[in-house]
Amino acid sequence: MRGPHNIWRLIRTGATLERAGAMNIALDAFDASPVLRFAARTLAFPFRWLGYKGDASLPPVSRALTALGPAYIKFGQIMSTRPDVVGPDLARELRVLQDALPPFPLDVAKKAVAKELDINVDEVFSEFSEPVAAASIAQVHRARIAETGKEVAVKVLRPNVERAFQKDVDAFYFAARFVEFFSPSSRRLRPMDVIEHFDGVVQGELDLRLESASASEFAANTEGDAGFQVPKIQWNLSSRRVMTLEWAEGLSLGDIDAIDAAGHDRRALGARVLQLFLSHALRDGFFHADMHHGNLKVASNGDIIAYDFGIMGYIDEYTRRVYAEILFGFIRRDYKRVAEVHFEAGYVPADQDVEEFARALRAVGEPIFGMDASRISMGRLLAYLFEVTERFGMETRTELILLQRTMVVVEGVARSLDEHINIWEVARPVVEEYIQKSIGPAALTRDLVRTARVLARFGPRLPQLAEAALIRQSKPEKDTDDSTLHPAIWAVIGAGAMAVFWVGTLI
């Protein structure tokens, strides 16, 4: 019954988009071809009456997605992180999409916790509240552990949410194939890849063990960060469908009046939010990718508390160095160096002209630096930068898109706390510190030591590898090109010798 279900769901989706006035907006965002527009309108318009009405106070696309249910809401939220796919305007609209849904009953939640953890809820918890928050995938209860008296937050997946999401994701795949068939030009946006990305994110959020692991890793990475807290996971009370962590008591960073009444320094909070995010992205390569007001609190002592770790970002060490050099180059307005970094990293094809690219980057940076300090935006800079690099043949890098989107959100939080914040002045010390530690003699030494450690594991095999390479080169097979094998082996040996030499000079 997959085929009929998918067709029916697709018709219902189109009808709802049409009824909410969102169909043309969605088609424009995906740069749909005339054939796809005709097919979509032909399927949707006659069935407009079948579409869900939705909340008329919401913008059209948000209204339609909210009406269509949890999977569509989550899809909209994830697409807000992909302006490369839906365009910056629609991404901006989807960014405010909320997934506050009616909670499921308390007794259902308790039964789910009891079954999943194999416990008697009333014995383990002396208190277990009604839901304090309900979203598309799970809801949260405030509870108290009977044995220790510790207050905790218990996150419980919605009943049958896995099955419901799977049905809609299956329809999304069907729609992606439909789009690719009727609009070959849309293949540049890789609709199937977009749905696979969504599917992967959702599957991760449907297993709360993965979110627990993210929270635990994030807490370990940031343990030494002054003025920052991450609630600790209670592993003995967590599983695939239940996650328990310490209760985060504090004021929402969006409640400006309460923050002022409590006497907190909003300027200091705004600067700290931005610097913490940059530190996590550059230093650790593992950052909270959903740092909006609703996921941040300020404790009574002024510490910032982060929670909800369903969406995390990861950047490998090499990409972090490239990103830091790009930011540092813009801070110093050294556009030639920024251009060279793009070429060195292979982001821009080698057949492009570095001088022309540097001039294009100057056109990106100078207008921003000419702005009043309160209007300077690193997120806007990155958005403009991606537009330019796309024109010069740079392929989309999902991890940088997520970083840029999070940067925009974090800047919004910082500006809500201090409308006159100078983003560059706040960011500069974090970026400079990372540059000093990751690009220079000390970093080179660390890299060589790591290389030596890796080579040490293969040391006993290097003679055999070299001998095998020489034998193969002396007896080449007709269908095998060994011209690169022998130099590669000697390159490894040479690297090992160089690493050993450098390590020896340090000892």
Residues classed as catalytic? 290
Q: Which amino acid is at 13?
A: T
DSSP state of 48: G
The encoded tokens of residue 383 equal 């958005």
CA-to-CA distance for 388 and 360, rounded, in angstroms? Answer: 7
Q: Are 215 and 309 in contact (CB under 8 A)?
A: yes
DSSP state of 8: H
**Of all helices (H) and strands (E), which one includes residue 168?**
helix 161-182
464 CB neighbour count, 10 Å cutoff: 9
CA-to-CA distance for 365 and 348, rounded, in angstroms? Answer: 18
* Residues 6+ away with beta carbon under 8 Å from 25: 60, 61, 90
The encoded tokens of residue 380 equal 């806007």
Give the count of alpha carbons within 13 A of 83, CB side only.
Answer: 22
β-bridge pairing 138-145 and 251-252: unpaired
Backbone angles phi, psi at 324, to 5 degrees: -65, -40
Nearest to 97 by CA among 139, 54, 158: 54
CA-to-CA distance for 269 and 275, rounded, in angstroms? Answer: 10
Q: Are 423 and 105 in contact (CB under 8 A)?
A: no
Three-class secondary structure assignment of 423-443: HHHHHHHHHHHHHHHHCCHHH
In 147-301, the DSSP E strands lie at 151-157, 228-229, 242-246, 251-252, 286-288, 296-298
**Distances from the Cα of 406 to the Cα of 6, 147, 274, 330, 454, angstroms:** 33, 39, 11, 19, 35
DSSP state of 45: G
Backbone angles phi, psi at 355, to 5 degrees: -65, -40
How much helix, strand and coil, in percent to the nearest 5, is found in the chain?
65, 10, 25
Burial class (CB in 10 A: 0-12, 13-18, 19+), 451: middle
